Copies of this chain bind each other. A is one copy, B any other.
Amino acid sequence: MDSDGSSGAVRGARERLVVIGGDAAGMSAASQARRMRGPGELEIVAFERGHHSSYSACGIPYWVGGDVDGRDRLIARTPEEHRARDIDLRTRTEVTEIDVAGGRVRARDLDAGTESWTSYDKLVIATGARPLRPDMPGVDAPGVHGVQTLDDGEELIATLEGVRGRRAVVVGAGYIGVEMAEALIKRGYEVTVVNRGTEPMSTLDPDMGRLVRDAMVGMGITMVGEATVTKVLTGSDGRVRAVATEDAEYPADVVVLGIGVRPETSLARAAGLPLGADGGLLTDRAMRVRGHENIWAGGDCVEVLDLVSGQQRHIPLGTHANKHGQVIGTNAGGGYATFPGVVGTAVSKVCDLEIARTGLREKDARRAGFRFETAVIESTSRAGYYPGASAMTVKMLAERRTGRLLGVQIVGREGAGKRVDVAAVALTAGLTVEQMTGLDLGYAPPFSPVWDPVLVAARKAAAKVRDGAS
């Protein structure tokens, strides 16, 4: 029976949209659907197992590091604000089953412990991702923290404020790992980053990751590469006291896990919905779950089309989740919108070091079957004579013979990161590196050298393509 005693059949013309997951993708979809259709036409029910809705998980490292003043600054829209816009958002309510044939979901009120079914005409799955948490001794000890949710952030801050020692170990050296390293440095910790790869930031090629490592070492961070954490050691008080790898122990008063996420698709899998190789839901361009006319999915629980390789990938990023929500809400509201795919753009920073990438790394390009040329150049963010000009390294990959741009990676200081956007648009448009050499980018001494670093890289890559073709 429906929780409200009604069914799709007897509700008449008023449809019900059910949303599973109250963060970026889910609530963007709900909000956009509400903009498209009023409450007289469309009822919207959203289930969220946590306390919060529509918050910036990407902002957690900056809250922990003290750049952001308080948790509430990260909340774009509270549950109350959603409810005021006629979205029936039910927090602390976890969906436990999707009954596709029956057009209904079962949800549990986590506080009351009760369960009930809610029918839907249209369903949005926005269940996000779950952090990888290695199955090793001590991983649940006090002082070991993930940083996925606002609640995680709150618990970590409580630990940091309560603990005596100043030694922190970050496990993992991807975006979350390096951002948390910055946050802990800002709080005055001695930081050790332990990661499996030779270099940090495996989203870059190793030669570029090396630049990140050198810079982090220069910031006083201890970088331990090619190391797998095997257990968390605890003291007599039961709290973490060190992290152990196969070869060594690293004393730790606090441990932060930043080793990536996987799509949270256990509900979808149980319901028989189509999943890809990375475990994410598969959708069409309208973000409709393949084969299901009235079910959409978006955000960190889906795989997206990589426009450069042509392959499906899991790329959990808030910016994609928001776009997905917008597209889903438009379609679920009776309009038409598509999400074309991604080119793999990401920017991050550790203190004043900016790190950016878009397109394919060398190993991605090989895996996708491309032969390619690479060019690496050094340039500056501004005219060399202008105050504040800082060095940056740009790496560019171009397909052999055709010269089609395949990817760009940038490591530098202020003004380096967002330069990757030029390459992101060029990848989307399918430009060649030769075409890029002629791009009319903004120039004035405070903004760029007369040849923007991206153009310098394009010139070198174009020359390599010419030489390779002869």
Contact = CB atoms under 8 A, between A and B. Distances in A.
Interface in A443-466: 443-448, 450-452, 459
Interface in A390-439: 415, 417-422, 424-426, 428-429, 431, 435, 437-439
A343 interface: yes
Contacts of A175: 444
Contacts of A387: 67-68
Contacts of A445: 56, 58-59, 62, 68
A446 B182 CA distance: 13
Given A62-B445, A68-B386, A440 B418 contact: no
A342 interface: yes
B417 A447 contact: yes
B386 A450 contact: no
Contacts of A358: 440, 442
A75 to B, nearest CB: 9
A323 interface: yes
A344 interface: yes
B439 A428 contact: yes
A444 B383 contact: no
Residue of A58, A418, A447 with most partner-chain B CB within 10 A: A418
A62 B347 contact: no
A421 B424 contact: no
Nearest to A322: B450
B342 A56 contact: no
A377 B387 CA distance: 31
Copies of this protein in the assembly total 2
A341 B440 CA distance: 8
Given A67-B386, A418-B418, A425-B425, A348 B444 contact: yes
Contact of A440 (B73, B342, B459): B342
A415 B442 CA distance: 13
Residue of A320, A415, A425, A431 with most partner-chain B CB within 10 A: A425
A331 B441 CA distance: 23
A443 B386 contact: no
Nearest to A462: B337
A258 to B, nearest CB: 14
B438 A385 contact: no
B420 A422 contact: no
Contact of A442 (B56, B347, B448, B451): B347
A340 interface: yes
Contacts of A56: 383, 385, 445, 450
Contacts of A343: 440
A108 B354 CA distance: 52
A444 B385 contact: no
Nearest to A344: B440
A44 interface: no
Nearest to A384: B73
A218 to B, nearest CB: 19
Interface in A334-393: 338-349, 354, 356, 358, 383, 385-387
A270 to B, nearest CB: 31
A318 interface: yes
A271 interface: no
A317 interface: yes
Nearest to A387: B67
**4 nearest A-B residue pairs (beta carbon):** A429-B429, A347-B442, A319-B443, A425-B425
14 contacts: A58-B443, A59-B385, A179-B444, A319-B440, A319-B441, A340-B435, A347-B442, A349-B444, A358-B440, A415-B418, A420-B442, A421-B442, A426-B429, A429-B431
Given A58-B445, A347-B442, 18 more contacts: A58-B383, A62-B445, A67-B386, A73-B385, A320-B440, A323-B437, A340-B435, A347-B443, A347-B447, A354-B447, A415-B418, A421-B439, A424-B440, A425-B426, A425-B431, A428-B429, A428-B440, A429-B429
Interface of A: 24, 56, 58-59, 62, 67-68, 73-74, 175, 179, 317-320, 322-323, 326, 338-349, 354, 356, 358, 383, 385-387, 415, 417-422, 424-426, 428-429, 431, 435, 437-448, 450-452, 459
